[in-house]
Amino acid sequence: MPTRSLLSWFATLAVAQAISRSITSPNFTGLSEPNATLSAGKHATCVTGFVPIYAAASNTNFLFSGPANNFEATDIFIRYTQANSTIVEDLTGSLTPVNGTFNIFSKLCYPSKSTTPPTTVQILTHGGTLDYTYWDIAPNNSYVDAAAMEGSATFSYDRLGTGLSTRPDPIQVVQMAIQVDILHTLAQALRTGRFGGHRFDKVVGVGHSIGAALSQGVTRLYPEDFEAVILSGHSTSFADAIVGAIGTGMQIANMDPSGRFTGLANGYFSLGSSISAHQFAFYKYPHFDLNIFNSQRAISQCNIFGELWTLAQVYVPAPAFTGPVDIVNGQNDFFYCRGDCTYPVNEAALALSTFYPAASNGSQVFLVPNTGHNINAHFGASEAFNHILKFRPCNERREERGEDVVGFAKFEGFILQLS
Ligand SMILES: *[C@@H]1O[C@H](CO)[C@@H](O)[C@H](O)[C@H]1NC(C)=O
Ligand SMILES: *[C@@H]1O[C@H](CO)[C@@H](O)[C@H](O)[C@H]1NC(C)=O
Ligand SMILES: *[C@@H]1O[C@H](CO)[C@@H](O)[C@H](O)[C@H]1NC(C)=O
Ligand SMILES: *[C@@H]1O[C@H](CO)[C@@H](O)[C@H](O)[C@H]1NC(C)=O
Ligand SMILES: *[C@@H]1O[C@H](CO)[C@@H](O)[C@H](O)[C@H]1NC(C)=O
Ligand SMILES: *[C@@H]1O[C@H](CO)[C@@H](O)[C@H](O)[C@H]1NC(C)=O
């Protein structure tokens, strides 16, 4: 088949070159305070704005109102990390229904070179201490661009409690259960055409770290929501994440000297100002651009008490999900592999078999060499994206639709996956 595929690729190329392509004018349906913008590498044309999302969940009532000062905060983390800690159990009350309508800051991006909107959208959920910009850091570090070059639309957003989205009670409200419900609602909304005036046929769940856990949580409760999932910074040994979280030098965010978190309730924790606090859990030195490290450090977001203490609720298998799964970790991920994802076994492969016993053929795993937890911020990002581009569920419809492949950077990868 390679020869036929190659010929058809050239046919597509010829068609693409014959047509002058441009994005149709942006459609702001469903977004308030809308803006139009380009992705970092300009391969995607995006609309941003706020979407009101009603969510309801059974949250956990924590018998705790937040630390009064940084000494108490630090003591809580010591008691959380200490040998045979029972603090989570001690402070856990009953399940409590929580609901609300939250303003979620969102960014919907289309391939700049497409004449018609794609039928597939990838919904991108960022990790802890990050925000929606994690997916579009710089031209060489943009998943949004990589996806656009492969013909896919992306929808990224600030998770509840982060960035420009509503930042409610960090203990009783911002928890895994309600975050899962928000992601589920967003996936439904993309299918029904609530945003951008365009209805998507297929939704792929893409998550990093806490975002991976949330995407997994959706596949467990709503296995029909995603055609496929791509999870990065993800493993079965999330207990290591406690050590990673401690490494961030957490402090009560509203006392952060930067003044960026004034007014937030105690229970939002910003990262320490040292290099170590930002590097320890997230980066493998020297495999990243210092400018990117510094800009990420400058915009870092909070750890949130209610999320940290309900993490375990979503690291459970999703046996009813039968779509393809791709698990991608930095090989030197500290947060989820204590610095070595090959030890004692391939942690990505273990996560795949443990969490997704019914995953379909075509599922795959990848460890990105010389890369820490925050993959997209490393030099290894392009290798990770190249791997993901070969994941058929994301791009198999591309050639069938005769879409533009001129801008496709990974020529070899594309041919490989066709043959
Ligand atoms: C939208 O763009 C305007 C003008 O550039 C800017 O002032 C505003 O902050 C942007 N709003 C959002 C929500 O990004
Ligand atoms: C501490 O935990 C270990 C393993 O979970 C257990 O074997 C041990 O009995 C515990 N010790 C105490 C004092 O509870
Ligand atoms: C939402 O929460 C309020 C209490 O905050 C409760 O009275 C109401 O019944 C809840 N609504 C739903 C639909 O669960
Ligand atoms: C982006 O990657 C290309 C190809 O590897 C390289 O030539 C270029 O210098 C990189 N740009 C930046 C800003 O790092
Ligand atoms: C946006 O899309 C909707 C649904 O297709 C359509 O009704 C509306 O006219 C569009 N708005 C603009 C400004 O194109
Ligand atoms: C998975 O793929 C293998 C090899 O391509 C094939 O033999 C097998 O039947 C497939 N299994 C399912 C469930 O499709």
Q: What is the pLDDT of residues 346-371, one digit of tens each?
A: 999 999 999 999 999 889 999 999 99
- Ligand 1 pocket residue status of 165, Cβ below 6 Å: no
Banded pLDDT at 163 (limits 50, 70, 90): very high
Q: What is the mean pLDDT of residues 175-183?
A: 98
33 touches ligand 1 (CB under 6 Å): yes
The residue among 107, 99, 72, 101 whose CA lies nearest residue 87 is 72
Give the distance (Å) from ligand 5 centre to CA of residue 195.
Answer: 10
Q: Where are the domains of the chain?
A: 3-417
Which of 99, 102, 178 should be mutated for ligand 3, with most atoms under 8 A from CB? 99
Instruction: Tell me, using a 6 A CB cutoff, whether residue 35 lines ligand 1.
Output: yes
CB 189 within 8 A of CB 106: no
Domain spanning 3-417, CATH architecture: 3-Layer(aba) Sandwich (3.40)
pLDDT at 204 exceeding the cut of 90 = yes
32-36, 298-302, 379-383, 397-401: range with lowest mean pLDDT: 397-401
Position 115 confidence tier, pLDDT thresholds 50, 70, 90: confident
Give 27 Cα–ligand 5 centroid separation in angstroms: 6
- Please state the atom number of ligand 1 nearest to the C-alpha of residue 105: 13
Which pLDDT does position 244 carry in this prediction? 87
pTM of the model: 0.88
Atom 1 in ligand 5: residue holding the nearest Cα: 197
Lowest mean pLDDT among 60-74, 187-201, 216-230, 396-410: 396-410
- Find the 240 Cα to ligand 2 centroid distance in Å: 18
Amino acid at 391: F
Arithmetic mean of pLDDT, 179-208: 96
* Strand spans (E) along 127-215: 153-157, 202-208
pLDDT band at 393 (very low <50, low <70, confident <90, very high): low
233-278 confidence digits (pLDDT tens): 999 987 677 888 889 999 999 999 999 999 999 999 999 999 999 9
Task: Give one DSSP letter per residue of 341-391, joined into a string.
Answer: TTSSS-HHHHHHHHH-TTPPTT-EEEEETT--S-GGGBTTHHHHHHHHHT-
Mean pLDDT (the chain, rounded): 88
